[in-house]
Chains A and B, each alone.
Chain A
Amino acid sequence: MSGIVELADLKIIFPTSRGDVNAVDGVTLSVEEGSVFGIAGESGCGKTTIGLALMGIIRKPGRSEGGIRVNGKDVSSMKDEEQRLFRWKEVSMVFQGAMNSLNPVKNIGYQIAEVIRDHSQVTRQKSMEMATELLKKVRLPATILDRFPHQLSGGQKQRVVIAMAIALNPKLIIADEPTTALDVVSQEYVLQMLKAVVEASNSTVVLISHDLSLLAEMCDYIAIMYLGKIMETGRAEDILANPSHPYTLALLDSNITIDKRGKKVESIPGYPPSPINLPRNCRFSDRCAFATSECYESEPPPTTMKDGRTVYCYHPRYEDGEG
């Protein structure tokens, strides 16, 4: 069965004066319809680039290789107008709303109504009514319609952004670090809101975050990325309970959570190598505690484990799962 998102050896390359940067370097994954799929990793590992690529946005002079199919459509070969209508109608995105993803010179009502009107033949009046309804869904009062982005708090802006994402009932919602820029209290509130909205809408969600505890709470499936490549992917509970790739292990150790109070937080030794002209071996080998000569020579092929997860490692840590 093919999923709503199908990536086949996807590469996204940004040429620079010092060589090509492979922001995404051969990612293959499938997202099951109706699920919540998490993409985790450090900043700069290519997770946001994948999120934008799912909507067909690759900023110039970048280019992509390999296949991107979303909702059965080949995203990279769409014509302009077809692509425009595909965006938001079929795939929408929750941006880091507390950052400046809202147009600073237009009020909120206008901005929500604008996206509705650009995708369907509705009157101005009708689109404003729909905007009010959407705000109600994220529990914001109608007075917000007349406000400008700079007059809202981070949490309010984030809820506006969520309301916008569900405006056209898309099949797929990409949430890119939806709570990162918020304070802890609004984080929890916005998260519950996102959860409720997602459950009500039956949309598939791709949740991009560096925060493993957030992913654990929200996701059915998860992919751990490092330097443009997937290290490990499978059911979220399996991977987070019993990490198999040394990188996942290290990532979990470096994550700070309440229940780890009193325990020492480990950081991952070393720095990620430059994404320019990556060596053709395991890219985590330099920082890996379990690396052997094999790891320095060639890139590990995908291994499927008993519980269904896929690991790209010669020495998976969770042997029980091995098939």
Chain B
Amino acid sequence: MTESRSRFARLFHTEAGTDTVLLRLLHSKSGLVGIFILAALSAVALLSSFIAPYSPYAIVASPYLPPSQSHLLGTDGLGRDIFSQMIYGTRLSLEIGFVSAVGITVIGTVVGVVSGFAGSYVDEALMRFVDVMLVIPSIAFMIFVATIMGPGVVSVLTVIIVFGWPPLSRMIRSQTLSIKRRGFVESAVVSGSPRYYTLFRVILPNMTSLIVANAMLAVIYAIIADASLAFIGLASTNSYSWGSVLYNAQIEGAIYHNGMLWITLPGVAIAITGIAMTLIARAFGDITDPRFSTEGR
């Protein structure tokens, strides 16, 4: 009871609310671990040209070398340095992750808020469409569309965003509806505040942490989707993401060429990123919805 009352107090005072959310994020141990991992990965991505010992495209040694001092993860079937490919892959994977997440979050939020705020036939039409998108097997359709658009970063980004926003819009819509029903929003509407004021000053700020948390989860969704597309050969062939490193490892038979690290590390990198994003999202999520916390309170 008091729990929900204090949550309400935070929601009423948005400015203070945002502060509390950030503060809590820094106070939550797992949230901090997530931020630390993300910072480290971002540093690798930004400094990839300094960290990577070779160009990822250059043939620098004999093919299928096992891991050694000069080639930490060995070389691929053409004699290119796999470690350098992983470092450059960090950059592209994170880029794809974050760019898609921005696209997904913007579309999902706009559709969700409009649907929940406008109501009636607009809501009905948008949500029927979202239902259809949710039922369509998304990975399969992503593969389909990407096949037709041809391999490349643009088609990967497009399909990830197009099939990524519907679940988010549903969540945002129901949150909009629940905020709309709260006393302070109803009173803002009744007292004659303009609609855009209610929307931008009252409803959106009260969903900040929900939106941010889901943006974090969208990053990992996009990275996994990219890896899946790359894995069936739909990534660009002239740039490396973790997914394309994994694809090469599979295609070139890494299993039979002592390539255990080659084939496992891309997945580990994706998993670490995913765990970091989930930890951050959870730190937000626990704040917005403490019901689902596993910590016994």
Contacts and interface: CB of A to CB of B under 8 A. Distances in A.
Contacts of A16: 2-3
A31 B197 CA distance: 58
A256 interface: no
B6 A17 contact: yes
A18 B6 contact: yes
A274 B22 CA distance: 28
A276 interface: yes
B194 interface: no
B2 A61 contact: no
A16 B3 CA distance: 7
A61 B6 contact: no
Interface string A15-42: 0111001000000000000000000000
Interface in A32-70: 60-61
Contacts of B2: 16-18, 21, 276
Interface string A260-280: 000000000000000010000
Contact of B3 (A17, A60, A276): A17
Nearest to A61: B297
B296 interface: yes
A279 to B, nearest CB: 18
B28 to A, nearest CB: 14
B293 to A, nearest CB: 12
Interface in B196-217: none
Nearest to B5: A18
Interface in B71-103: none
A158 B198 CA distance: 43
Contacts of A60: 296
Q: Which of B1, B2, B3, B6 has the largest number of chain A CB atoms within 10 A?
A: B2
Interface string A59-84: 01100000000000000000000000
B9 to A, nearest CB: 10
Contacts of A17: 2-3, 6, 297
B91 to A, nearest CB: 42
Nearest to B6: A18
A108 to B, nearest CB: 31
A18 B9 CA distance: 13
B287 to A, nearest CB: 12
A61 B3 contact: no
A60 B1 CA distance: 13
A13 to B, nearest CB: 13
A18 B6 CA distance: 9
A61 B2 CA distance: 13
Nearest to B2: A16
A137 to B, nearest CB: 37
Contact of B296 (A18, A21, A61, A276): A61
A48 to B, nearest CB: 12
Interface string B50-70: 000000000000000000000
Nearest to A275: B2
A61 B296 CA distance: 8
Given A18-B6, A276-B2, 7 more contacts: A16-B2, A17-B2, A17-B6, A18-B2, A21-B2, A61-B296, A61-B297
Interface of B: 1-3, 6, 296-297
| For the complex of A and B, 4 pairs with smallest distance between CB atoms | A16-B2, A18-B2, A16-B3, A21-B2
14 contacts: A16-B2, A16-B3, A17-B2, A17-B3, A17-B6, A17-B297, A18-B2, A18-B6, A21-B1, A21-B2, A60-B296, A61-B296, A61-B297, A276-B2
